[in-house]
Amino acid sequence: MAVATAGVGARVPDVLVGLIARRDPEAATPEHQRLTGDVGVGPWLAAGAGAGARAPLADERTPSGRSWLARLPYFIVIVSALEVCVFLWGGARTQMALLYNPHRRLELWRFFSYMLLHADPLHLALNVAIQLVLATPLEYEQGHLRTGLVYLGGGIAGSLGTSMMEPELYIVGASAGVYALLISQLSNILLNFGTIRYKVYRTVAVVVLALTDIAFSLHHHYTFGNECPRVGLAAHCSGAVAGFLLGLVLFRGEAAKPENAAWMRACRWAAAALLSAGLTAAVVCNMLLPPAPPRTT
């Protein structure tokens, strides 16, 4: 709500304050400001910043108090554009240098660079469309860095999981990162259950998307023997698990509520322990496993 002040130190009539409180009873309470970062109207009305000054509109600021412009999904837009460019203009040498190759596990960049490659236009379009939809609310609520770490961590988990469970498989595509974004939505909802908006609809959307992809994968496996194309089930599952755990570790939660602090801390430590155990197992397996045998046709 825009509020203009008449001058320095101007006093707002009690009637106006009453109308504001009636419109949004919690907007001016200290508890609301502490939990949501909403500056409310009190500080702006008290400051009296001069004729024509106004408080920022509620929809101009994020729950953390930062400008909505700073919360636009820059990370996922840039990554998606890069994936499109690599698909359109990256030649055979680029693809061979970036894909995950089980015979070149010492080339560590391959454990995440494969995410830039896609098998065909449909594969690219699906991944880009879904990751844009999933990452946009996460970047708005959790920021670019946390969302990017979940996406990249899911991709690395996908290649590490493939190296252990399907050690002969070459992989391309951002599906593991997309799965990490998808399941990390549940972490975000869990950590912010009391304040997050549309939690029921978002949970249903996550479940529907996950079940749809699982149903397609099962149909493809039993109908076509998981060939043409080969679906990297290990990468999908590893990315999903990593996304949930990374979300618990990295995402902001309702830390302002003391009653949530204990269980939130326990969840974060448990998730960190599971991530550490999985990463250690994957590294040890990659060090001890012999090179994958050449594929024969």
pLDDT for residue 222 is more than 80 = yes
Instruction: Report the pLDDT averaged over residues 115-131.
Output: 94
Report how many domains make up the chain.
Answer: 2
For range 249-272, the mean pLDDT: 83
Q: Check whether residue 15 and residue 120 sit in a common domain.
A: no
Q: Are residues 29 and 139 in the same domain?
A: no
Asked if 61 and 40 touch (Cβ cutoff 8 Å), the reply is no
Question: What's the mean pLDDT in 270-280?
Answer: 96
What angle in degrees, to the nearest 10, is found between the helix axes of 258-288 and 233-250?
140
This prediction has a pTM of 0.75
Catalytic, 221? Answer no
- Residue 293 — very low, low, confident or very high, per pLDDT cuts 50/70/90? low
Last residue of a domain, one of 16, 37, 68: 68
Same domain, 252 and 282: yes
- Position 269 confidence tier, pLDDT thresholds 50, 70, 90: very high
**Most confident listed range (103-112, 268-277, 278-287):** 268-277
Residues 234-252 have a mean pLDDT of: 95
Specify whether 76 is located in the same domain as 64. Answer: no
Residue 113 placed within a domain: yes
Does residue 21 register a pLDDT over 70?
no
Domain boundary among 50, 68, 86: 68
Instruction: Choose, from 113, 175, 184, 187, the residue flagged as catalytic.
Output: 175
Q: Which of 68, 83, 103 is the last residue of a domain?
A: 68
Position 3 pLDDT exceeds 50:
no
Q: Is 67 a catalytic residue?
A: no
Do 106 and 212 belong to one domain?
yes
Give me the domain span that covers residue 194: 72-288
Statement to judge: residues 231 and 108 lie in one domain: yes
- pLDDT over 70 for what percent of the chain? 74
94 in a domain, yes or no?
yes
What is the structure's pLDDT at 18? 47
Residues 165, 258 within the same domain: yes
Reduce the DSSP state of residue 100 to 3 states and report it: strand
CA distances from 4 to 40, 52, 193 (A): 14, 5, 35
Higher pLDDT: 14 or 100? It is 100
* CATH code for position 102: 1.20.1540.10
- Where residue 254 falls among pLDDT bands split at 50, 70, 90? confident
Asked whether the beta carbons of 89 and 48 are under 8 A apart, the reply is no
What does the pLDDT read at residue 212? Answer: 92
Pick the catalytic residue from 113, 144, 236, 238: 236
